Amino acid sequence: MSRRLPVIGILGGGQLARMLALAATPLGVRCSVVDGSADACAGQIAPLRVADWRDLASMEQFAAAVDVVTFDFENAPAATAEWLRQRVPVYPSPEALAVAQDRVSEKALFRDIGLDTPAFAAVSTRAELDAAVARIGVPSILKTRRLGYDGKGQFRLRSGADVDAAWAALRAQATPHGLVLEAFVPFMRELSVIAVRGRDGGFRAWPLTQNWHHEGILALSFAPALVSAELAATALEKARTLAEKLDYVGVFALELFEHEGRLLGNEMAPRVHNSGHWTIEGAVTSQFENHVRAVLGLPLGATALRAPSLMFNWIGALPEPVAGALALADVHWHDYGKESRPGRKVGHATISSADSAQLLARAQDLAQVLGRAAQLAPALPVLQAGMQHNA
């Protein structure tokens, strides 16, 4: 008699769902994916149902075929998640998903748990925008409250002269979803906590990660971030408090700014996260495996660092030559099977090395082979500081 394998249903069929399915397979777990695109890259790895998430007839069939539902995209409709929860367990909860979908609710939650944020104001009319600019000042950033990611739905105000252009660019979103004006913070570094909470309330976090973005999209991540033990402990404590406040189950990312020696909350992602991809090779248990464990109620795996790690994010097209990159020691290549497109995440490479000096050398070799010296440049001072620290 054949053994029935547990099935995780995933709303969203991008590279995160793809990597979840790859992590689930060794655990004897199958994944089933629902996405509106027939060419969703997770469909190369797991069965793909092409359907709109608001098509409840399709969702009914989906729910009947899975044991638990999760997401690879934070803009999956919270209403659909709640509808599914009446039929099958859904993790993280629809409530956590809804909070993370609204930048104003998200920042209010951060402040509620004692995590400060940049100054912000909700905006739905031009008069409210003018009042917010007068109070918060410039430079600042006007954003959609909902549906923005990877730099989309944002307009930076460098001076008061930009207010007209900002309103013209985003006013169409002001009525259905609302906007938010956020103060621009000249932060020292961008950090993220990748953490996981199980069904039983168990909590674990990976070493703090430092990130660099280009045009609103993650370009590089390095772990462990070179911050004080006190700052790292504060970041993890805030992540734990946030997870407990939401009764969260699964992996999530808490994105932070370090500014004048303190942490400011930027965003929360209620899913596995781009800045945690290094955990596949660089940690004892990857973020993807631990998300699978968490949503199924299995014991969580250790999140300790195996080796210092640096992740290059490939945007638009995979760099060449791939063979040249694979010839280098300590390089791990991930091709998401996507067609090239401007601004699209199509793959990543991770370098995990025994120490910071070796990591720096490997990173420079990879950047040289692929012609990506400019992408590596922002991280070089941090890697060099790590090498000196460990000398």
Q: Is residue 313 part of a domain?
A: yes
**C-alpha closest to that of 194 among 179, 205, 182:** 205
Q: At 1, is the secondary structure helix, strand, or coil?
A: coil
pLDDT at 390: 57
The per-residue pLDDT for 174 is: 75
Do residue 164 and residue 194 come from a single domain? no
Angle formed at CA 152 by CA 257 and CA 157, multiple of 5 degrees: 65
The residue among 93, 34, 32, 43 whose CA lies nearest residue 66 is 32
In this structure, what is the dihedral angle of CA atoms 290, 292, 294, 298, given to the nearest 10 degrees?
-100
Both structure tokens of 325: 């990159």
- The pLDDT, as a whole number, for residue 250 is 98
The answer as to whether 340 is a domain residue is yes
Tell me whether residue 298 is in a domain.
yes
For residue 166, give the CATH number of its domain: 3.30.1490.20
The answer to whether position 114 is within a domain reads: no
User: Which pLDDT score is estimated for 149?
Assistant: 60
Identify the CATH number of the domain in which residue 47 sits.
Answer: 3.40.50.20
Is position 271 within any domain? Answer: yes
Say whether both 154 and 281 belong to one domain: no
| Domain final position from 183, 199, 224 | 183
Q: Which of 369, 375, 271, 296 is nearest to 15 (CA)?
A: 271
> Do 333 and 353 fall into the same domain?
yes
Domain range enclosing 157? 119-183
253 lies in the same domain as 323: yes
Residues 154 and 209 in one domain: no
Look up the CATH number of the domain holding residue 377: 3.30.470.20
Alpha helices by DSSP H, 10-162: 15-24, 56-64, 78-85, 94-100, 103-112, 126-136
Question: Does residue 32 lie within any of the structural domains?
Answer: yes
Considering the domain architecture, whether residues 166 and 280 belong to the same structural domain is answered as no
Q: How far lies 233's CA from each of 196, 205, 207, 236, 306, in Å?
A: 16, 11, 10, 5, 19
Answer yes or no: do 177 and 199 share one domain.
no
What total number of domains does the chain contain?
Answer: 3
Residues 217 and 340 in one domain: yes
Predicted local distance difference test score (pLDDT) of residue 148 = 61
- Chain mean position to CA 89: 23
Residues 232 and 337 in one domain: yes
| Secondary structure (DSSP) of 347-361 | EEEEEE-SSHHHHHH
* Same-domain status, 85 and 133: no
pLDDT of residue 386: 74
Structural domain contains residue 360: yes
Q: Consecutive 10-residue runs of the chain (391 residues): their mean pLDDT?
A: 83 98 98 97 97 95 97 90 97 95 95 96 94 94 79 84 91 83 93 98 98 92 96 98 98 96 95 98 98 98 97 97 95 97 96 92 96 96 77 52
